[in-house]
Amino acid sequence: MSNKEFISEVAGKITTTPQQCQKMVNELADTLASVLELDNEVVVAGLGSFETRQKKERVMVNPSTGKKMLVPPKVVINFKMSSTYKNKIN
Amino acid sequence: MAKGKVTLQMLSEMMANNSGRSKSSAESFVRTFFAVLKDALQRDNIVKVKGFGTFKLVVVSPRESINVNNGERVSIAGYNKITFTPDKMLKDRVNKAFAQFDTMVLEDDDLDIVTNAEKVEKAEPQVSAEPQTPVVPQEVAEPEAPAEEPASPVVEDEPRIVALKQETAPEPEPSRVEEKAEPDEQPAPTETSKEQQAKKRTLKIIGIVLFVVGVLLGFYAAISSGKQEPEPTNVNKADSIVMTPEQKAEQAALDSIAQLRAAAKDYEQVEGGDMLIAGTRTYRRITRSHNLVRYCMQIYGTKKVLPYVMKYNNLKSEYVPVGKDVKFPILIEKQDSIK
């Protein structure tokens, strides 16, 4: 499902314009980011949770140059399914 | 890390605050958002939301694995899972702290870091717990940093005594640090066999622990009277508070001691004690984790000073309530007990 379809579907359900709806999506993303920045996790009942995970630095080989590279540590967002959802789709 | 759980309701409330929309409209939006998402995922297997990210339904094929306890072959059944790849904005916001770092090319002289990081990387799938592995690469890359932390509070606590000692105390330290750092790193490049990885890691951890202990002992050795031996000998902790008599006291040292002796007359002394109180050395606040005795060990290296500390603070008991500030005296030997 493309972004356009998704937005129009949501917009239809809560009776706004697709533009407003996209705006709200961005606002939601912004709020989510603020919450995750502070190391919290966001739980969506019946779906799963969003949390941050720290990735350590690692060595990798650049396949094109063949040189060894050092990838710096980083923080990533991780979505974890809830057990109810897991059972539902399996 | 403090992981607070934020519910959808809290999220919509925050969204309403940030955007100026009404709480109810924000809430209905958020609910619809995830409801449509869930539904669409079942229909389409992939949902892309601009500004948010992409949700994909992925089929994981069944695979064979080993039961860790008994080594038996186990087959893990196939299943479906949802993956989420955040959009650039979201990713960058969360990674702000590490945004400054970039991938860089490793030259050959960085081999030690490489081999150690490789070992950690290879070990990772075997070791599921995260906490163990960060210790190793960080410790190897900066062997001096953790060692310096325990050392510095010790140095701060005893500025006057260290000033009196002067000379060679700081010098044995760096050489010892270098000596200890090298044996840590030498074994790593020569061994590459996967079978010996676990052994190598435990050895490395032991090496690091010994190294830290060695530096701490080194400081005690430097402060103590046994300065003819710069090696980390197991110094009798009582010696660290008895200063001038055993040392080759230089003129300045003797003079300072004499000054302190003069000052000692102003303070109430412990009757029958071996030592004199000659001013305040430092202050500490009693906490749940640190009581008077613990601070005495920390500052003087012995509990024998307790009566002096108690006298100096007019304490009837060594049990001091949490939150009380306690002052710790400078202690010098009484004239008569000089050998």
- List pLDDT tens digits, range A33-54: 999 999 999 999 999 999 999 9
Q: What is the pLDDT of residue B81?
A: 93
Is B38 close to A56, i.e. CB distance below 8 A?
Answer: no
In a domain, A13, yes or no: yes
Distance CA B66, CA B196 (A): 20
Exposure class string for B289-324: b at 16+ Cβ within 10 A, else e: eeebeebbeebbbbbbbebbbbbbeebeeeebeeee
Q: Is residue A26 part of a domain?
A: yes
The beta strands (E) that lie in chain A are given as 41-44, 48-55, 58-61, 68-71, 74-81
Contacts of B33 in chain A (CB under 8 A): 10, 25, 28
Partner B, chain A 27-56, Cβ-Cβ below 8 Å: 27-52, 56
In a domain, A30, yes or no: yes
Amino acid at residue number B336: D
The tally of CA atoms less than 13 A away on the side-chain side of residue B200 is 22
**pLDDT number for residue B267:** 86
Average pLDDT of the residues of chain A: 93
The yes/no answer to whether this complex scores an ipTM above 0.85 is: yes
Cβ-defined contact of B18 to A27 (cutoff 8 Å): yes
Contact state of B47 with A10 under an 8 Å Cβ cutoff = no
Q: Does residue A27 sit within a domain?
A: yes
* Domains along the sequence of chain B with CATH: 8-98 (4.10.520.10), 136-235 (no CATH), 244-337 (no CATH)
Q: Cβ of A72 under 8 Å from any chain B Cβ? A: yes
How far is residue B222's CA from residue B199's CA, in Å, rounded to a whole number? 34
Token couple for B67: 């039961």
Q: Does B57 contact A89 at a Cβ distance shorter than 8 Å?
A: yes
DSSP annotation string for B120-180:
HHHHTTT---SSHHHHHHHHHH-SHHHHHHHHHHHHHH-HHHHHHH-TTSTTHHHHHHHHH
Q: Is B15 within 8 Å of A35 when comparing Cβ atoms? A: no
pLDDT of residue B6: 93
Closest CB from B2, B32, B121 relative to A14: B32
Q: Which two tokens stand for residue B227?
A: 């300065």
E-assigned strand segments in B10-122 = 46-49, 53-60, 63-66, 73-76, 79-86, 104-105
Q: Tens place of pLDDT for every residue, chain B, 339 residues?
A: 567 899 999 999 999 999 989 999 999 999 999 999 999 998 998 999 999 999 999 999 999 999 989 889 999 999 999 999 999 999 999 999 888 888 888 877 665 555 555 555 555 554 444 444 444 444 444 444 444 444 444 444 444 444 444 444 444 444 444 444 444 444 444 555 666 778 888 888 898 999 899 889 888 888 876 555 555 455 555 455 555 665 655 677 777 888 888 888 888 888 888 888 888 889 999 998 899 999 999 999 998 899 999 999 999 888 898 989 999 999 888 876 554
Cα–Cα distance for residue pair B140/B163, rounded to 1 Å: 33
pLDDT of residue B94: 93
Q: Which chain B positions have a beta carbon within 8 Å of A90's beta carbon?
A: 79-80
Inter-chain contact B51–A26, Cβ cutoff 8 Å? yes
Cα(B22)–Cα(B40) distance, integer angstroms: 27
pLDDT of B226: 56
pLDDT confidence of residue B249: 56
Domain count, chain A: 1
For an interface test with B, which of A4, A5, A10, A60 has the most B Cβ atoms less than 10 Å from its Cβ? A10
pLDDT of residue B236: 54
Q: Hey, are the CB atoms on A79 and B8 less than 8 Å from each other? A: no
Q: Let me know: does B132 contact B197? Beta carbons within 8 Å.
A: no
**Nearest-by-Cβ selection for A90 from B2, B19, B80:** B80
Phi and psi dihedrals of B99, rounded to 5?
-65, -30
- Considering only CA atoms, which of B247, B312, B306 is closest in space to residue B278? B312
Taking alpha carbons only, the member of B297, B288, B280 closest to residue B319 is B288
**What domain range is A5 assigned to?**
1-38
Mutation site for A-interface testing, chosen from B21, B36, B43, B135 by largest number of A Cβ within 10 Å: B36
Closest residue, chain B, to A66 (C-alpha): B105
A48/B82 Cβ within 8 A: yes
pLDDT at residue number B225: 61
In a domain, A20, yes or no: yes
